[in-house]
């Protein structure tokens, strides 16, 4: 695939895609193309900076965990049922 073919395919993609803003990358005016690239680069940098800031704040967030055992009141245990582990015989099921 030649360089001109790649350029033509890229131009066609940018002009026909439904993604917003790609048509500015192949605009006839060089000023529009450069301005759009600068805007996209700046937005990407600000987004990365904001993401870094959020992750840093999340990782610095402290937490406090405390466990209190109250020994003044005796514990109340639930009723216990002991099950037979021998299982059910097939002969008793068939009845």
Q: What are the residue boundaries of the structural domains of the chain, listed by start?
A: 3-60
**In the structure, what pLDDT confidence band is assigned to residue 95 with cuts at 50, 70 and 90?**
low
Distance from C-alpha of 81 to C-alpha of 64, rounded to nearest angstrom = 39
What is the model's pLDDT at position 94?
Answer: 61
Distance from C-alpha of 24 to C-alpha of 79, rounded to nearest angstrom = 74
Q: What are phi and psi for residue 21, nearest 5 degrees? A: 95, -15
Highest mean pLDDT among 12-21, 53-62, 84-93: 53-62
Residue 18 clears pLDDT 60, i.e. is over it: yes
Please give the mean pLDDT across all residues of the chain: 84
pLDDT digits (tens, 9 = 90+) for 43-68: 999 999 999 999 999 999 888 888 88
């Amino acid at each position: 695939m030649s360089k001109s073919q790649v350029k033509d395919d890229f131009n066609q993609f940018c002009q026909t895609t439904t993604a917003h803003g790609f048509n500015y990358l192949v605009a006839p005016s060089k000023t529009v193309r450069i301005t759009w690239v600068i805007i996209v680069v700046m937005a990407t940098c600000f987004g990365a900076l904001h993401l870094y800031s959020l992750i840093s704040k999340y990782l610095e967030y402290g937490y406090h965990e405390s466990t209190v055992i109250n020994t003044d009141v005796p514990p109340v245990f639930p009723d216990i049922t002991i099950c037979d582990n021998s299982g059910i015989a097939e002969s008793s099921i068939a009845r």
